Structure 1
Amino acid sequence: MAATHIFDAPPEGAASDWTISQNWRGFTPAQHATWRTLLDQQSAALAGYACEDFLRGLDMLRSVGPGIPDFAGLNRHLKPATGWEIVAVPGWIPNEPFFDHLANRRFPAANFLRPPEQIGYSEEPDMFHDIFGHVPMLANPAFGEFLVAYGQAGLRAEKLGASDFLGRLWLYTTEFGLVVENGELRAFGGGILSSYAETIRSLTSHDPRRIWLDIDRVMRTRYHFDEFQRIYFVVEGFGELLRATEEADFSRIYKKIAGEATLDPEDDFPGDLAYEGPLQPVRPGPAFMQQEAPR
């Protein structure tokens, strides 16, 4: 299916920063039912796999009602607790407004929901991916500060023509990051946690590589959009993730790696430090796992 929510310019009704009205009352009972099914199934599946901060944030998300969350109501809980608010956008938005929203503690969320026939896997990042996959992590202060720092770095990267390098940091942390928590490997990336099959693979399978986070390595590593990730980067905690971002001289890294070959996930790198801790045991999976798209 071709992407249907990518635009060259803000569509009709969108502001210059790409925000739109959520029009919460316009969602149908069937769409609210799809959201409830997704929320209930995915929440139940993640116990023991998602990090504790994600699960705590998920409780806040559940508190605003059983259907698609009204962003205005969600923000009344979210902003006092975290300093963040959710803004509705039409879909995939360009880098500059995306970075600007993050730098100002606004998390952009796509204002469309996957259809029922794609309930296990959506080909586009939809509202469920954005809200379920990312918003719970805002409950962790260090992770929230990391997103602010990332947005600020993104605005600088736009001027340097280095957004592709920085984009890999987003993909390998915010989307597909792993964290060690109380000696156990857990997931915190939204791309993992909104996909049951990728959650299981990332935490239990011996097939993918797991490497301790190194900013230079991440920015040089090619990302695959159309299959499960072959490499995951691990952090010791979200304070470490924030410190690594704050202490890294991104402009130096951009200049250094601009002339170097892009690495495939399978490639060896002299500084690689493999995660050698225990993996999670495989638990019986829910029936909806069978609906995950094959990759």
Structure 2
Amino acid sequence: MSHPRTLLEPSRHQHRAPAGAEPPEGAASDWTVPQHWEELTDEDHWVWNTLFARQKTLLHDKVVRALEDGLDILNLSHPGVPNFEELNEKLGARTGWTIVAVPSVIPDDVFFEHLASRRFPAGNFMRTAKQMDYLGEPDVFHDVFGHVPLLAQPAVADFMVELGKLGLKAVELGEIERVARLYWYTIECGLAREDGRTKIYGAGIVSSFGETHYSLDSPRPHRLKFDLKRVLRTRYRPDEFQKTYFVIDRFEDVLDIVRENDFEAVCAELESQSDIDPKVARPDEVFGA
């Protein structure tokens, strides 16, 4: 039985535009557009404030400290949808990253080029009040509330750059699905140990009312020890709660995932091995076993 998503929008990378697609009218060649913050409506700001208050209260002590710290560092609790110009002043001074507005989903090579250049593409629209609990594409709440606080942390900021470079290489190698799985099971749906407890750092869970509880408390999903080869072999569904989550020993170790492995060699080794259904797990893979 699948679980309907609540406040978990598919990530931009997973619901991507076709390779070679042209930017829509009004977008630059890198698919960026002006945010036009001044055109946001009272409803847009109300929806942001409502979602922000609900998630911040829910997430307290359930997410890694770095995420809550990032919310404070970037002053994201200030009422209303963040103005990217103001947000980028704080974020750029902290880790050199900037948020760029994009109109919709973007092609893989464009997405990873932005990451490799310390730019995070964020949806240039806000869901409506009627879409509070489900949206088919990532909007500014998912992208900014879910992703941006951790970009204020140097380890994550550097990890995302390395992931961007890895994605560009994967496009050339024809291994984009492997990187999609790594992105999904870390940046979107990652769990980590902190203070002896399992906590959330993945943006897809962070922006999801329902999956916050499910990922940590439900007996249904597997919570497995993070192993890069296992992650790269494991399929996923972006449109339902996960059957498997991967837990790293320490959130601070996230950068080592890409720095300490030869991605091309690992992919070559996995060529002869079959993909793994996320519903399947061995007892010895379970975190803490």
TM-score (normalised: structure 2): 0.90
Q: C-alpha displacement at 1:37, in angstroms? A: 0.8
**Does the alignment pair 1:265 with 2:278?**
yes
Q: Is the CA contact 1:57–1:139 (under 8 Å) kept in the aligned structure 2?
A: yes
**Aligned residue for 1:60?**
73
Distance (Å, rounded) in 1 between the aligned partners of 2:116 and 2:69: 24
Q: C-alpha displacement at 1:263, in angstroms? A: 0.6
**Aligned residue for 2:82?**
69
**Aligned residue for 1:188?**
201
Q: Identify which range, 136-145 or 238-247, moves more after superposition.
A: 238-247
SS at match of 2:121: strand
**Aligned residue for 2:7?**
none
Q: 1:132 to 1:63 in 2, by over 3 A?
A: closer
Distance (Å, rounded) in 1 between the aligned partners of 2:156 and 2:198: 17
**Aligned residue for 1:99?**
112
Distance (Å, rounded) in 2 between the aligned partners of 1:40 and 1:64: 8
**Aligned residue for 1:167?**
180
SS at match of 1:113: coil
Which structure 2 residue ranges, 5 or more long, are not aligned?
1-9
Specify which of 114, 119, 131 is matched with residue 132 of structure 2: 119
For 1:84, the aligned partner's letter is W
For 1:30, the aligned partner's letter is E
**Aligned residue for 2:210?**
197
Q: C-alpha displacement at 1:6, in angstroms? A: 6.5
For 1:274, the aligned partner's letter is V
Q: C-alpha displacement at 1:63, in angstroms? A: 4.8
Distance (Å, rounded) in 1 between the aligned partners of 2:77 and 2:288: 40
SS at match of 1:252: helix
Q: 1:120-161 CA deviation, whole Å, 9 max, x = no partner?
A: 222221111000000011122111111111001111111101
SS at match of 1:265: coil
Distance (Å, rounded) in 1 between the aligned partners of 2:77 and 2:281: 46
SS at match of 2:198: strand
**Aligned residue for 2:223?**
210
Q: 1:164-203 CA deviation, whole Å, 9 max, x = no partner?
A: 1111000000000001011111100000010011010111
For 1:87, the aligned partner's letter is V
**Aligned residue for 1:284?**
none
RMSD of aligned alpha carbons: 1.8
Distance (Å, rounded) in 2 between the aligned partners of 1:255 and 1:25: 49
Q: Is the CA contact 2:16–2:108 (under 8 Å) kept in the aligned structure 1?
A: no
Q: Is the CA contact 1:121–1:195 (under 8 Å) kept in the aligned structure 2?
A: no
TM-score (normalised: structure 1): 0.88
Aligned counterparts, 1:129-168, within 5 A: 129-168=142-181
Q: Is the CA contact 1:57–1:136 (under 8 Å) kept in the aligned structure 2?
A: yes
Q: Is the CA contact 1:212–1:235 (under 8 Å) kept in the aligned structure 2?
A: yes
Q: 1:34 to 1:103 in 2, by over 3 A?
A: same
Q: C-alpha displacement at 1:269, in angstroms? A: 5.8
Which structure 1 residue ranges, 5 or more long, are not aligned?
278-295
Counting aligned pairs with the same residue, the percent is: 45
